[in-house]
Amino acid sequence: MRKRSRVLFPIIFLLSALCVSVAYCMYSNAQKRLNVILIALDSLRPDHLGCYGWCYGYQRNTSPTIDRLAGEGILYTQAVSNATFTWPSINCMMTSRYPLSDKVFFFDEFLPHPQQALPALLKKAGYATAFFSNHIGLSRFNESLGNGFGTFVVKGDGIAADGPTKDAMAWIKTHARKRFFLWLFYFDTHEDFVGFPKTREGILPDDTRKYVRMYDDHIRYVDAQIALLMQHIQNMGIQRRTAVIITSDHGELLGEHADQYTYFKHGDRPWEFLIRVPLVLYCPQALPKGKVVQQQVQHIDIPPTVCDLVGIRAPGAFEGRSLLPAIKKGAPAQYAFIESRSVPAGFLTASETPEYQYAVRTTDWKLMFNRFTDGTAYYKFYHLTSDPLEANDVLMAQQERVAVFKAALDGFLLRQKQNTAGPLRKALTEENVKALKSLGYAQ
Ligand SMILES: [Zn+2]
C-alpha cells in the first residue's frame, strides 16, 4: 500500500502541474489573441444603470445590455474618474497618468509624451487601433495622442449614437482577423438636451424630473447601440476573444448641490456625483463571470489593465495599476486623486488664473481642497459611507484623520510639482472654438 502511494503521488503531482500549465498556456494564448473594445458614455452616472440598482436603488430599466455584460463580467462599484470634465479625463484614460502629471486640462493642452499612451503602445505591438465618436469637441484628440489611433472618426452636428456604432461595426468587419483596440465614445448622454436652460435659474422640480427622464432615455438609446455592437461581434465570431470595458469620462449633477453650483453640469468641484463612474469589464474567455469588486479603482487603472489583458508590458510612466490581480485576491487599498481646474470663461484655454480643485479619496472618506483665484482656499472632509450626498463637513470633528489625508494630498502635489514636463500647447482653430462653444465648453 505504502509502495503504491509512493508511485501514485508523483504521478498525481505531475498531472496537477500539467493541468495548471495547460490552463496557464490557454490563458496566455487567449491573452495574446484578445481584442479590446472600450466604450465610454459621456457624463454617465453609475446610479442610473440597472446593474448598480442593488446599491443605489434606481428602478428604471435604462441599461439591459450593460446589465447583462456586468452580470457575465466584472462590476466595479467604487470606480472614480481622475478629473471632472472630458478633456483631462479622456487623456488620462489613455496615459495612466494623473492630469496634473502631464498638466493637460484645457482643450488647447496636448500630451507631451503621446508615445507612452495606450493607442501608440498597442499600435507598436501590432494592434489595429480606432476611435469613433459623435463628440465634435474631440476632433483633435488623436493629435494629443500622437496619432496613436490608426483610424479616427469624429462626426457631430446632430449625429446620434447610431453613427459611430455603424462606423465601428464596419471597421470591425474589415479588422476581424486582426488584433484590434477600438474606443467608442458616445456623446448622447452629455448635458444640453434640447429645450433646457443651462443654468439653475427658472428650473422647477418638474423640469428636473423631465430632464432626468431625458437623461435616462438617452442612456437606454446608447445601451441599444451597445446591444447592436455586441450582436455584431458575435456574428463576426470574435466575441470570445474580445474584451469589452464600459465606463464614462465623469459623472453629472442632476440637481444635487444646486444651492452652491450649476444644475445639470460637470466640471469644477469633485463631488461624488461628478467623479463616480460605472466600470464593467467583460471578457468571459479570460476573466471570471458575475464578479463584483468593491475596492476603489480609478480611470488611470484602465491602460495597465488593457496591457495586462493583451499581454504587453506596461511602461514605467503609468501611474495606475492593473485591475486584474484585485479580481482574484484583492489588492492593498489605495488613495484616488481627483483634480480639476476652471476659469469663468470655460475650458478652452487657461488664459486666466484658474481655480484649482483637488480631492483625495478612499472608499469611506474624502478630503476636498479648493484654491480660488484670489488665493483663498478651503478644505472639506466627508464620511462617504454615512453621508453619500456630502452634506455634512466633518473637518473639525475628524482632525486626526484629516491630517493623514492632508499629508497624502500634500505628498501627491509635491510629486507633481517635481514633474516638470508640461503640456504641448496648440492653438485651437476657429472651427474647434465654434464646436466647443456650441457644446457649452466656453462662454
Ligand atoms: Zn464628458
Domain presence at residue 23 = no
Residues within 5 Å of ion ligand 1 by Cβ? Answer: 42, 86, 249
Q: Same domain, yes or no, for 214 and 77?
A: yes
> Which residues, listed in sequence order, are joined to residue 184 by a DSSP beta bridge?
39, 132
The DSSP H or E segment spanning 36 is strand 35-41
DSSP 45: -
Which tops the pLDDT comparison, 15 or 388?
Answer: 388
Residue 17 lies in a domain: no
In a domain, 15, yes or no: no
The per-residue pLDDT for 223 is 96
The answer as to whether 218 is a domain residue is yes
Claim to verify: residue 170 and residue 259 sit in the same structural domain: yes
Alpha-helical runs (H) found in 51-204: 53-56, 64-71, 86-95, 99-102, 118-124, 141-144, 162-175
pLDDT of residue 261: 58
pLDDT, tens digit (0-9, with 9 covering 90-100), for 123-149: 999 999 999 999 988 999 999 999 999
Residue 380, classed as helix, strand or coil, is strand
Residue 24 included in any domain? no
Query: Domain with 171 in it: what CATH number?
Result: 3.40.720.10
- Reduced to 3 states (helix: H, G, I; strand: E, B; else coil), residue 399 is helix
Q: Find the 133 Cα to ligand 1 centroid distance in Å.
A: 12
Kind and range of the H or E run holding 434: helix 430-438
Q: What mean pLDDT is predicted for residues 339-345? A: 80
- With contact defined as beta carbons under 8 Å apart, do 240 and 284 qualify? yes
Q: How far is the CA of 156 from the centre of ligand 1 (A)?
A: 15
* Residue 237 Cα to ligand 1 middle (Å): 32
Amino acid 214: pLDDT:
86
Q: What confidence tens digit (pLDDT) does each residue in 174-185 have?
A: 999 899 999 999
CA of residue 26 to ligand 1 center, whole Å: 38
For 238-285, the pLDDT digits (tens) are 998 999 999 999 999 887 776 555 666 787 789 999 999 999 999 988
Residue 16 Cα to ligand 1 midpoint, Å, equals 49
* Residue 341, strand partner residues: 356
Q: Which three cell numbers stand for residue 14?
A: 505531475
Same domain, 312 and 350: no
- Rounded distance between C-alpha atoms, residue 372 and residue 413, angstroms: 16
Taking the C-alpha atoms of residue 140 and residue 137, their distance in angstroms, rounded to an integer, is 8
Query: 63-94: per-residue pLDDT in tens?
Result: 999 999 999 999 999 999 999 999 999 999 99
**Among candidate residues 117, 226, 129, 122, the one with its CA nearest the CA of residue 171:** 129
Measure 85 CA to ligand 1 centroid, in angstroms.
5
Determine contact, residues 383/364, Cβ cutoff 8 Å: yes
Question: What separation in Å is there between the alpha carbon of 413 and the centre of ligand 1?
Answer: 25
Report how far ligand 1's centroid is from the alpha carbon of 59 (Å): 25
Residues 219, 138, single domain; the answer is: yes
The Cα–Cα gap between 303 and 122 comes to 10
Structure confidence at residue 428 (pLDDT) = 84
Task: Compute the distance from residue 30 Cα to the ligand 1 centre, in Å.
Answer: 33
pTM of the model: 0.89
CA of 43 to the centre of ligand 1 (A): 5
Coil, helix or strand at residue 47: helix
285 and 159 in a common domain:
yes
Compute the distance from residue 250 Cα to the ligand 1 centre, in Å.
6
CATH number, domain of 408, equals 3.30.1120.10
Distance between Cα 90 and ligand 1 center (Å)? 8
Is 70 exceeded by the pLDDT of residue 404? Answer: yes
pLDDT tens for each residue of 343-369: 777 777 776 777 889 999 999 999 999
The answer to whether 361 and 296 are in contact (CB under 8 A) is: yes
Q: Are 148 and 142 spatial neighbours (Cβ–Cβ below 8 Å)? A: yes
CA 34 to ligand 1 centroid distance, Å: 28
- Phi–psi pair at 74, nearest 5 degrees: -125, 130
Which of 290, 307, 332 finishes a domain?
332
Q: Tell me, yes or no, whether 372 and 286 share the same domain.
A: no
pLDDT tens-digit readout, 177-232:
899 999 999 998 887 665 555 555 666 667 778 888 888 999 999 999 999 999 99
Between the CA of 2 and the centroid of ligand 1 the distance, in Å, is 69
Could you tell me whether strands 180-186 and 35-41 are parallel, antiparallel, or unpaired per DSSP bridges?
parallel
Domain closes at, from 332, 349, 381: 332
Residue 394 Cα, ligand 1 centroid: separation in angstroms? 30
Residue 79: its H or E element: strand 74-80
Please state the domain count of the chain.
2
Tens digits of per-residue pLDDT, 14-42?
Answer: 444 444 343 333 445 455 579 999 999 99
The C-alpha atoms of residue 141 and residue 380 are separated, in whole angstroms, by: 34
Query: What's the CA-to-centroid distance between 6 and ligand 1, angstroms?
Result: 65
The pLDDT of residue 147: 96
CA of 188 to the centre of ligand 1 (A): 10
Task: Pick the last residue of a domain from 332, 353, 374.
Answer: 332
Measured in angstroms, how far is the CA atom of residue 1 from the centroid of ligand 1? Answer: 70
Q: Provide the b/e sequence for 223-249 (b: ≥16 CB within 10 Å).
A: bbbbbbbbebbeeeebbebbbbbbbbb
182 and 54 housed in the same domain: yes
Are 227 and 303 in the same domain?
yes
Number of H helices, E strands in the chain: 14, 14
CA 86 to centroid of ligand 1, rounded, Å: 4
Distance of CA 391 to the CA centre of its chain: 26
What's the pLDDT score for residue 420?
Answer: 67
Taking the centre of ligand 1 as the mean of its atom positions, its distance from the CA of residue 349, in whole angstroms, is 17
Q: Report CA(187)–ligand 1 centroid distance (Å).
A: 8
Asked, for residue 143, whether it belongs to a domain, the answer is: yes
Please check whether residues 198 and 273 belong to one and the same domain: yes
Q: Angle of helix 2-33 relative to helix 302-310, nearest 10 degrees?
A: 120
Strand order in the sheet with 355-361: 336-342, 355-361, 365-371, 377-383
253 CA to centre of ligand 1 in angstroms: 12
Residue 115 has pLDDT above 90, yes or no: yes
Q: What percent of the chain has pLDDT over 70?
A: 86
Domain that holds residue 287: 34-332
Distance 238 CA to ligand 1 centre (A): 30
CA of 8 to the centre of ligand 1 (A): 61
CA of 361 to the centre of ligand 1 (A): 21
